[in-house]
Amino acid sequence: MLPITEAAVQEWSDIGPKGAFGKAIIAVAEACPDVVVVTADLSDATRVTEYSRLFPDRFFQVGIAEQNLIGVAAGLALHGKIPFATTFAAFASMRCCEQVRTDVAYPDCNVKVLGADGGVVMGTLGTTHYGIEDIAIMRAIPNMTVLSPCDGAEVVKATAAAALHVGPVYLRLTGGKKMPIVYREDFSFEIGKAITLRPGDDATILATGTMVAKALGAADLLEARGLNVRVVDMHTIKPLDEDAVRSAAQETSLIVTAEEHTVIGGLGSAVAEIVSGLQDTPRLVRIGLPDRFGHIANYAGLLNGYGLTEPGIADAVERNLPEPAAERPRDLALSAL
């Protein structure tokens, strides 16, 4: 697999998550001859053009036909191949949802679906290209594993892990070029095992994708305000690391989830499903996109408008922390109305 070096980490940041995937899939294919790539007229957009030149006999271009993309990938898997089907997140999760469910997940085919440009990075193209419901859709499908890496190094690790995992995988990519670096050195990546990037006992931020770097920045801001905040990289949405969630609930007084996805059905909902079964849990605050269609704008403007920024996350944590007992209103019930 590709080594995690200072130069490589910087390159992956510069070329963005899709570029990192393009590098990773070549390395994975070199190590595993059964790996193939299928795409739907998006070779350049999903950065598999170089792969197609290196492995022309292991590359399949189906044209603008996403439903067929998934069917072809399923057929290849049934014949022993490990197909990576690449398209935009919005198309992978919605345009061919039935095929993902019935052709791939139902027979438990060993297909890896790449959802590129998840979230609102394609904001200038409008709602049709927003990938803000994909986690909710994919994690509701039985047999599906859902991965959401946070930077170039984790994209590389997640791509290799997806290839080694037997069964359907949805690999979600968020963010663009000049992506913030989270991992500068080699690290262990295990599907279903979250990574605690920063310890803390005042509050916990459980973040995924682009929001991991934002969460680390928010924790720095909060440290300057006298707060010690834990940050956890939830790179796997399904199966979710329930132990990490339980630890956050037992050891900190507030849990905040952060994701570049609708607040309905994503990481926040997955965490809520676990927290709801625990006793004496802290408050859970979900940061994400609101339950409404967005508008056309540039990426940075959309993140800022939705509060998906370091100050936005920090303010949400500070605003929702429980008050010290001596400062609480006497009538909590009335004060909450």
| pLDDT tens, position by position, 201-236 | 999 999 999 999 999 999 999 999 999 999 999 999
- Same domain for 150 and 220: no
End-of-domain residue from the set 144, 174, 204:
174
Cα 4 to chain centroid distance, Å, stands at 20
Query: What's the confidence (pLDDT) of residue 336?
Result: 33
Q: Is the pLDDT of residue 329 over 50?
A: no
For the chain, give the number of residues: 337
CATH at residue 262: 3.40.50.920
- Does one domain contain both 118 and 229? no
pLDDT, tens digit (0-9, with 9 covering 90-100), for 10-55: 999 999 999 999 999 999 999 999 999 999 999 999 999 999 999 9
Mean pLDDT, the chain, integer: 94
User: Among the three residues 141, 174, 207, which one is the final residue of a domain in this structure?
Assistant: 174
pLDDT of residue 310: 98
In a domain, 329, yes or no: no
Residue 181 lies in a domain: no
What does residue 10 show for φ and ψ, rounded to 5 degrees? -65, -40
State whether 28 and 168 are in the same domain.
yes
> Is the residue at 24 inside a domain?
yes
Kindly state whether residues 22 and 150 are assigned to the same domain.
yes
pLDDT tens figures, 91-142: 999 999 999 999 999 999 999 999 999 999 998 988 888 899 999 999 999 9
Q: Give which of 231, 221, 222 is closest to 258, Cα–Cα.
A: 231
The count of domains in the chain is 2
Domain range spanning residue 21? Answer: 6-174
**pLDDT of 236:** 98
Check whether residue 305 and residue 202 sit in a common domain: yes
Q: Is residue 1 part of a domain?
A: no
Residue 324 has a pLDDT of 61
Q: What is the model's pLDDT at position 248? A: 97
Return the ∠ at Cα 310 (arms to 16 and 120), rounded to 5°.
45
Confirm whether 203 is domain-assigned. Answer: yes
Find the CATH number of the domain harbouring 121: 3.40.50.970
CA atoms within 13 A on the CB side of 53: 6
Q: Are residues 107 and 252 in the same domain?
A: no
Q: What's the CA gap between 235 and 257, in Å, rounded?
A: 13
248 & 306 share domain: yes
Strand order in the sheet with 236-238: 59-61, 35-39, 82-88, 112-118, 169-174, 145-147, 236-238
The reply to whether 79 and 134 lie within a common domain is yes
Q: Are 231 and 205 in contact (CB under 8 A)?
A: yes
Same domain, 101 and 219: no
Q: In this model, does residue 326 exceed pLDDT 70?
A: no
pTM across the whole model: 0.94
Q: Considering the domain boundaries, does residue 37 fall inside one?
A: yes
Residues 288 and 140 in one domain: no
Name the region of 167 (left: φ>0; alpha: ψ -120 to 50; beta: rest): left
Residues 168 and 24 both lie in one domain: yes
Please say if the pLDDT value at position 332 is more than 50: no
Whether 37 and 118 share a structural domain:
yes
Residue 330 forms part of a structural domain = no
Does residue 144 fall inside a structural domain?
A: yes
- 90 CB-near residues (< 8 Å, 6+ apart): 117, 128, 129, 130, 131, 134
Final residue of a domain: which of 114, 142, 174? 174
